[in-house]
């Protein structure tokens, strides 16, 4: 019952307005021991939910000072009661109470994902749509079965992984959002160019293109280690990289299947070449039409996400954003022409 | 009547089989005065229709030798009667009769376009489809009117120009085929990303994207001088280039129109940036989502045409084509995996 | 009368010595709300005249604190009475009085230009010299008339614009100083190489070279928006760039003139190619001797200005300057060999 | 007995002097149907043994003309009796007799390898030395067992494959010669730097370095298809490349073994990074000391072979070779300083 | 006597533990006049010995404040008595006494070198080993004599100079350590490849290779000016660079010797080309086998030192070091695979 | 007297018209033993004078056939009597008589230089003008003396060497023509920028700039070996290059002079940096204003000569030259705009 009551007062950190006080589930993202220039020691701590992160000092004379030093730990989830204030130093929290999240909090709606940035779309629905495309658009039964199995085997991970650590779709289920979008474009483009070049030899193989789109970034699941704080490169991610790792996953899944060697090879090639340039990680450029289509669908989708993110987050004034973004270029914001 | 009879026997050079004799309209493409190592002089001449080009010697003792030296001229159209033979030296023609095409030959179906390689699609239908897209998909009336006017003003040229001299869509109406394809992809991608990023500020402007696709390569009409033999760079094409010339055409057409300065600027930017990299001719990279979409639609369409052409024409054996093509890379042909 | 008196005591900020107090006209360049580590809030403000900029704090307990927060605005001109001090924190001002500049202050000699860095040379004289070169060195009447008209139409802007925002000649009338210098070198080099290559076909056209030098950077007038604080990129400057914009100005000015198409084309080409490399903004490299000469005259003049500026402003000790300058390289300062 | 007699008279093509006649086993390398400028048809044919290749015409009036057209086939081995002549057209053969090699010819010493260029060293001895290094220098039993098994499983291929198609060690057993040399250097360098950096954390792992050297190019066995005429890229060689394929072989061999994941990962990394630069095929640069050592041992060994080959084969006169070699640079030949 | 006593208590700064107090010889490396945000002025000073550097504030109320302002000087050696403390601000010193080092301190073991980072190996022994290699491995008497003389003439400098200011072997005698290691590898590689390519024309010249290794970086002795604080670029180092300067030293030393012009030229070429790429400072790539070997021996030795330094000093957690090191890449540290 | 008569009939090969017969001095440039496709052997021979080169066959049945095989030698000068004909195979010579040039022919005006392409300007006058500039424009006596001595010591070579083998000023005295032109531009630019930047510290040193221009390419005298057939790279030219060799010459000449070390260093730097980019051979970029000026004067002069040569020799039709020239770009020729 108490839980119910508590639930009644649960708020989301990202919904709090200046002066609000309430209970919220948050992830600790930062704890640094610092001191001011004149020697006053303090901890700089950070907490976040899916859409807001707040960083503030815990001074030595704070009632939480001792607990902070001894117990609090970045990567841990907490239930806090706090007053939210917007100040000259940016948003701040005055903590009233704080305790680690416990199992029972799930009853109040706690879910670790609620503390990480995430896709605007339902992971469940995106996954279902991706599966539906696999069933409907991959005519070759061996390829379809392979794509289906690989998706199902990695369902949970797809729903949690970002597409990249920083560059684009850097949020939970970002990999799924990006993969679905690339796959949708690929279906359109494969259909279109099949119609344009009906006599091409060998013919454009739509099953390979679509499965290639579905699987092009699957190696990210090995490139990153996922933790509550987000994704970080694994050792193998550093030394090998997602392009080779994704091809490994494909070959492992295909090992027990009946599949023409050339079909598998062309599918591997889509993964291997999807970044196009050696300096972007692809040892070979697209040498098949399927690989070319997936490369363009992927590149455009990633870049448009970077455009949208730059426009949404850049603090610059004037007709363009700063060039300090993953695109390393200005994005036009408009006005005063 | 004679004409009628003649028509009955007209054949297309590209349809002739080894041993066939017939009348055909052809374009002279080559006349070089050479001699064999042991001093025997001859003319190497070439004739083509839309799909076949034949090169052969006219020896000094040929009955056509004198006319060849004195009168024949590359770039001129001829009606020939000839025997077609396939030999160790490749296809050859034994000329029976030859005369310049005259106005009356139009009655037998002569059209200069029939002697140049051309799009597989009807220029008329492609133009109509492009106009229909302009009407249906460009919501902004000022932009729609501008795109419509520019297409109509350049209708005939669009139906004859290639998209490039050698790289891709290098045939009559190739510019139109390419433009239509890029525009169709742009409609799809603009619709799709409008739905994905409904809150982007400034919003993705579909009218600008679609008009930008329609107009992105229009500067080719000034970059090339068109002649019966095909397209060649004009003086201004060499010194200025189609990207700047296309923007000129847009600005000239917009001069008499009511159009918000920022709208025009964004449209100019689509043209200016559509090749993305400075070394490919774009002084600025895409800085708006519309420009980004048109760049990708254009790049993919050009490259897929290069793939198809390489696969259709490359004489290499083995699993890949030669890398001597506009892509400067191998294209996979398949087999023996 | 009071004005007279005031005038008597007016000083230039850049002339003040440690301990001086006086009245000066200045431009506010900065107002940031900050606080010290221990939470003491203050405003960091900046003021400048043509040769000195001073940045200092206004503390909350200052008599100007309230006015600073409420009224002061960067980009606004002020008349101040202040004590100038050189301290460990660099130069500082202790403000006695401060008010916005009013129209009457012109009587005391106020001119917005006096608060911006500016050319060491008289804009008026430089403009006159440039006009004189146009009259004397451009033999072709159509080109001369075009260059004359474009200069006269942009006289005021030429006398105020910098040649670049930061890289070189980044001060009022910098564009004029740079243009005049490039033009003078071009006259010398065109004369010289006309003499060296009298038989070149087509001949080096000195009129095109000189007019090209005069107009090569005129697009800067559209690339930048000028404000009292200096120049900033306009929207079109970002999306299109001064090379294309300068060519627009040329074509607009030539629209109503009699000029041989090839002459205009060669003149356009000088502007289009003057940066030589695509990655520096030129879609085409110099393909005429005139363009080649202007490129070299321009490049040398810009770089020498960067050398002089690096030598004058770099704070490094040792035999070379730092490499943190627009040249991205060290400049030799000499000593201890 | 006849065989004995025949053996007695067998010669090697490469040993024949101007005017010699004899029986030899050769590989047909070329058959092209050509004709002289004045229409005389002929076949240009080529035959080679391990160290000499001779190309000459078979004219229509030759007694071999019909057989040549109908039966002879490049890639087939022949026993010929011929007169060897050195002429203005280079070395020539006058064929007396020619027949396909048959099984029995093995009795006369025929071996396909005798018709291909091959290593100066005995493949058998090199293989034995490589195995001995594996046993002696790889202290880690799991790595040693893996390297041993992979060598044994590919013994025959190692003894036949070239290290590259053209660039370096382009002859039978070239892969083995190169691998042994790289491995020997790696043993030296690993020992040396272990001594230099005894405290490095993690320590340089000599077992990984040596095994990495042994296996660094093993993917060539999948990248090329071997035929009697030599090696050519396989389909997978084109689309995937030997670096990824070599790592596949390693992972397949390691699948059934006990090996610490990090050990396997570091070993994979040696293969993945051994070309160092993305544009040379390595998606990751060397990030471990073992990988760095193998890269340098490999690069030096390949380049020195190119130097030696350029010096041995270049026909240029003067102090340097031509730059038309895989190094794309001149090699110093000395003289006239 | 006091000195004796003092000696008894002399400690090395790098050996002090938290709470230790003792006398030490140190080099002052830093003195900056700063103030806290709230205006409290202080000096930030730094002192170092061969393996530790400590930076701390001297406040205005410190008993050393006046001496610090007036007398202390970076680059000067001091004898200090101090308490060593490890705090939240990193290691700190509380100074009890401080005075400049005087001549007599040599009696207590003072040597300027003891205050700079230095090679782990004895410079004397390394120099002796390098001389021994020269005597044993350079068969050509003229080359041997040249190498011997140049080493002897620069003995002291070799024992003090670093190999580079920051990139690798950046410590006293680093140049010697690096040179010896490169020379040792060169001896191995020259012997090895002499055996592999006994017929190469011109033959690999081991004397040139070994002398080239010994002398490849000797120009560093002119590129840097050595001071107690370490090495800094000289004026000529900036304007000319060590590759050209090293060749100067060689030519000067060879001026009075009998040496075949081609031998000298090949030796010069080893120095000139040892960095291989123009952008790394070599105007010519290695064009002789000797130059190629020295390049690889040098490059590997420098990079391995960078690996070892990155692994020893990088503060990053996770499976790799930061990429902020002279290699500009991550180095694998291992763990969690 | 005979000589007189002979002289009377001497003609220049380059002056002969179709059908002319006469005596001329020529250089043999080519002798190749070839045969026609049908086996007819012949020698292809070439002869040139300063402005024309003629290549033609000597058939086996020619009266000169035996002498040609046995005696004639490229690089040898001949006196010929020949009929000049312009044919379909280009210009041809029918030889009547031919003999080697003998010493006495000097009396008839023979000079080896008359058979090589050469500067349009008198070498003697150019040298005198260059000396005059040295005397008049180099104010610093030590620098003036150095430049004067180096010119005088290399007077003859300067009057014969080309500036480059193919790229620009590739004719006798081309080095002198180029050096004079660069020096003249440098005088202008140094004067001009001294006036513009009177306060630069250190000041622009005109003496260094002018001497740097005079000496910038002097290393060509060592980079090339000069022979009657023209210039070719020397061994040291290949392994070291003219930039380093020119600096050597400067240092050798300065060895016995009184000159401030910094002055010499700045002069060396002008030579070292005059190509600006490492990939063009300069290990350091211009770091002094003098070096910057010489670089621009040099680069423009070389490129304008390439423009003039491309325009004079390119056989392309259309608005631009081919891009197969040392500039690797088209040059505008004009017409049809």
- Classify the phi-psi angles of D230: left when phi > 0, otherwise alpha if psi is within -120 to 50, otherwise beta: left
Q: What percent of chain F lies above the pLDDT cut of 70?
A: 94
Q: How far is E86 from chain A (nearest CA, A)?
A: 15
pLDDT band at C201 (very low <50, low <70, confident <90, very high): very high
Average pLDDT, chain F: 91
Return the beta strands (E) in E140-282 as ranges. Answer: 224-227, 230-233
Q: How far is A337 from chain B (nearest CA, A)?
A: 5
Residue A5, pLDDT score: 39
Q: What percent of chain A lies above the pLDDT cut of 90?
A: 70
Residue range A153-178: mean pLDDT, rounded: 92
Question: Does the pLDDT of residue E228 top 80, yes or no?
Answer: no
| pLDDT tens-digit series, residues E47-68 | 999 888 899 989 888 899 889 9
Q: In terms of pLDDT, which residue wins out, F178 or F9?
A: F178
Residue B124, pLDDT score: 95
| pLDDT tens-digit series, residues E25-43 | 999 988 887 766 555 778 8
Which residues in chain D have their CB less than 8 angstroms from residue B37's CB?
36-38
Query: Rounded to whole angstroms, how far apart are CA atoms F297 and F180?
Result: 11
With touching defined as 3 or more inter-chain CB pairs under 8 Å, the answer for chains B and E is no
Q: Which pair of tokens denotes residue A84?
A: 């939210």
From the list E251, E272, E279, which residue is nearest F279 (CB)?
E279
Enumerate chain A positions whose Cβ falls within 8 A of a Cβ in C.
Answer: 36-38, 40, 88-89, 318-320, 330, 332, 334-337
Q: How far is A337 from chain C (nearest CA, A)?
A: 5
Residue F98, pLDDT score: 95
Which residues in chain B have their CB less than 8 angstroms from residue D225's CB?
336
What are the Cα distances from residue A164, in Å, to A168, A233, B292? 6, 10, 20
Residue C15, pLDDT score: 92
Chain A residue nearest residue C232, CA to CA:
A318
From the list F235, F284, F288, which residue is nearest E241 (CB)?
F284
Question: Does the pLDDT of residue A7 top 50, yes or no?
Answer: no
Which residues in chain D have their CB less than 8 angstroms from residue A283's CB?
240-241, 243-244, 278, 281-283
**CB pair distance less than 8 Å for D320 and F233:** yes
Query: Rounded to whole angstroms, how far apart are CA atoms E217 and E199?
Result: 30
**CB pair distance less than 8 Å for E40 and A38:** yes
Question: Does the pLDDT of residue D337 top 90, yes or no?
Answer: no
pLDDT band at D31 (very low <50, low <70, confident <90, very high): confident
Enumerate chain F positions whose Cβ falls within 8 A of a Cβ in C.
Answer: 181, 184-185, 188-189, 192-193, 196-197, 199-202, 260-262, 265-266, 269, 285, 287-289, 292-293, 296, 299-300, 303-304, 307-308, 311-312, 320, 329-335, 337
Question: Does the pLDDT of residue A281 top 70, yes or no?
Answer: yes
Residue F42, pLDDT score: 82
Question: Does the pLDDT of residue E69 top 50, yes or no?
Answer: yes
Alpha-helical runs (H) found in chain A: 2-9, 65-70, 123-137, 141-153, 155-158, 174-196, 206-215, 220-223, 235-239, 242-254, 261-273, 289-313
Query: Rounded to whole angstroms, how far apart are CA atoms A168 and C134?
Result: 54
pLDDT band at D2 (very low <50, low <70, confident <90, very high): very low
| pLDDT tens-digit series, residues F298-335 | 999 999 999 999 999 887 778 999 998 999 999 999 87
Enumerate chain F positions whose Cβ falls within 8 A of a Cβ in D.
Answer: 33, 35-38, 41, 225, 232-236, 238-239
Question: Does the pLDDT of residue C318 top 60, yes or no?
Answer: yes
Which residues in chain E have their CB less than 8 angstroms from residue C38's CB?
37-38
Question: Does the pLDDT of residue E223 top 70, yes or no?
Answer: yes
Asked whether the beta carbons of B160 and B226 are under 8 A apart, the reply is: yes
Residue B336, pLDDT score: 56
Residue B39, pLDDT score: 57
Enumerate chain C positions whose Cβ falls within 8 A of a Cβ in E.
Answer: 36-38, 40, 88-89, 318-320, 330, 332, 334-337
Residue F228, pLDDT score: 66
| pLDDT tens-digit series, residues D78-118 | 999 999 998 766 789 999 999 999 999 998 889 887 888 88
Which residues in chain A have their CB less than 8 angstroms from residue E334's CB?
235
pLDDT band at F88 (very low <50, low <70, confident <90, very high): low
From the list F36, F37, F337, which residue is nearest B235 (CB)?
F337
Q: What percent of chain D lies above the pLDDT cut of 90?
A: 71
| pLDDT tens-digit series, residues B69-90 | 889 988 899 999 999 998 766 7
Comparing C273-282, F2-11, F115-124, the range with the smallest average pLDDT is: F2-11
With touching defined as 3 or more inter-chain CB pairs under 8 Å, the answer for chains A and F is no
Residue range C215-222: mean pLDDT, rounded: 97
- Classify the phi-psi angles of D255: left when phi > 0, otherwise alpha if psi is within -120 to 50, otherwise beta: alpha
Segment holding B95, helix H or strand E:
strand B90-100
Average pLDDT, chain E: 91
Q: Which of A115-124, A151-160, E81-90 has the highest mean pLDDT?
A: A151-160
The SS3 call for residue F325 is coil
Q: How far is D238 from chain E (nearest CA, A)?
A: 29
By CB atoms closer than 10 A (0-12, 13-18, 19+), residue B182 is: buried
Q: How far is D40 from chain F (nearest CA, A)?
A: 8
With touching defined as 3 or more inter-chain CB pairs under 8 Å, the answer for chains E and F is yes
Query: Rounded to whole angstroms, how far apart are CA atoms E198 and D308?
Result: 10
Of D126, D300, D292, D284, which is closest to residue D209 (Cα–Cα)? D292
Question: Does the pLDDT of residue A88 top 80, yes or no?
Answer: no
Which subunits sit against D, judged by 3+ Cβ pairs under 8 A? A, B, E, F
Residue range F206-216: mean pLDDT, rounded: 98
Residue D109, pLDDT score: 87
Residue F208, pLDDT score: 98
Residue range A47-74: mean pLDDT, rounded: 89
Residue E1, pLDDT score: 33
Pairing of strands D90-100, D77-87: antiparallel
Chain D residue nearest residue A236, CA to CA:
D265
By CB atoms closer than 10 A (0-12, 13-18, 19+), residue F167 is: middle
Query: Rounded to whole angstroms, how far apart are CA atoms E78 and E97?
Result: 10
Q: How far is C337 from chain E (nearest CA, A)?
A: 5
Residue C229, pLDDT score: 66
Q: How far is C138 from chain B (nearest CA, A)?
A: 22
Q: Which residues contact B102 (CB under 8 A, 6 or more apart)?
A: none
Residue B30, pLDDT score: 86
From the list E236, E262, E283, which residue is nearest F283 (CB)?
E283
Segment holding A34, helix H or strand E:
strand A21-35
Question: Does the pLDDT of residue E136 top 80, yes or no?
Answer: yes
Residue F36, pLDDT score: 62
Q: Which of A52-66, A175-189, B227-241, D105-119 has the highest mean pLDDT?
A: A175-189
Residue F113, pLDDT score: 79
Residue D4, pLDDT score: 33
Question: Does the pLDDT of residue A37 top 60, yes or no?
Answer: no
From the list D184, D193, D304, which residue is nearest E304 (CB)?
D193
Q: How far is E41 from chain A (nearest CA, A)?
A: 11
Q: Which residues contact B287 (CB under 8 A, 6 or more apart)?
A: A320, A329, A330, A331, A332, B269, B273, C238, C239
What are the Cα distances from residue F241, in Å, to D197, E129, E269, E272, F238? 39, 35, 10, 10, 6
Question: Does the pLDDT of residue C156 top 50, yes or no?
Answer: yes
Question: Does the pLDDT of residue C265 top 80, yes or no?
Answer: yes
Residue D228, pLDDT score: 66
Residue C185, pLDDT score: 98
Which residues in chain A have their CB less than 8 angstroms from residue C75's CB?
none
Residue E5, pLDDT score: 39
Query: Rounded to whole angstroms, how far apart are CA atoms E207 and E137?
Result: 7
Residue F248, pLDDT score: 98
Average pLDDT, chain D: 91
Query: Rounded to whole angstroms, how far apart are CA atoms E223 and E237?
Result: 4
User: Residue A232's CB: how many other CB atoms inside 10 A?
Assistant: 14
Which subunits sit against B, judged by 3+ Cβ pairs under 8 A? A, C, D, F
Which residues in chain E have their CB less than 8 angstroms from residue A35's CB?
88-89
Residue range A205-212: mean pLDDT, rounded: 98
From the list B37, B319, B336, which residue is nearest D37 (CB)?
B37
**Residue C201 has what DSSP assignment?**
S
From the list C188, C304, C330, which residue is nearest F292 (CB)?
C304
Residue C98, pLDDT score: 95
Residues of chain B with pLDDT under 50: 1-8
């Amino acid at each position: 019952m108490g839980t119910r009551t508590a639930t009644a007062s649960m708020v989301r950190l990202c919904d709090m307005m200046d002066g609000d006080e309430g209970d919220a589930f948050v992830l600790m993202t930062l704890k640094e021991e610092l001191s001011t220039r004149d020697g006053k020691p303090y901890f700089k701590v950070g907490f976040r939910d899916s859409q807001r992160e707040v960083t503030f000092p815990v001074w030595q004379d704070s009632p939480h000072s001792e607990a902070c030093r001894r117990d609090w730990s970045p990567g841990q989830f907490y239930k806090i009661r706090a007053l939210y204030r917007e100040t000259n130093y940016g948003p701040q929290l005055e903590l009233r109470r704080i305790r680690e999240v416990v199992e029972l909090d799930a009853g109040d709606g706690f879910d670790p994902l609620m503390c990480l940035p995430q896709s605007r779309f339902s992971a469940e629905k995106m996954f279902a749509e991706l599966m539906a495309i696999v069933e409907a658009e991959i005519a070759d039964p061996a390829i379809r079965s392979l794509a289906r199995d690989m998706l199902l085997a990695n369902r949970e991970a797809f729903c949690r992984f970002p597409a990249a650590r920083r560059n684009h779709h850097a949020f939970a289920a970002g990999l799924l959002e990006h993969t679905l979008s690339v796959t949708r474009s690929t279906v359109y483009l494969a259909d279109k160019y099949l119609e344009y070049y009906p006599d091409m030899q060998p013919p454009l193989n739509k099953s390979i293109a679509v499965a290639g789109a579905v699987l092009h970034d699957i190696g990210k699941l090995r490139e990153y280690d996922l933790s509550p704080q987000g994704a970080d490169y694994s050792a193998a991610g550093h030394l090998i990289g997602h392009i080779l790792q994704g091809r490994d996953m494909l070959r492992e899944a295909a090992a027990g299947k009946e599949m023409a060697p050339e079909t598998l090879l062309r599918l591997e090639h889509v993964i291997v070449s999807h970044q196009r340039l050696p300096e972007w990680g692809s040892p070979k450029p697209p040498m098949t039409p399927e690989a070319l289509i997936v490369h363009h669908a992927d590149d455009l989708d990633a870049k448009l996400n970077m455009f949208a993110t730059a426009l949404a987050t850049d603090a610059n004034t004037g007709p363009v954003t700063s060039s300090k973004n993953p695109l390393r270029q200005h994005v036009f914001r408009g006005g005063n022409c």
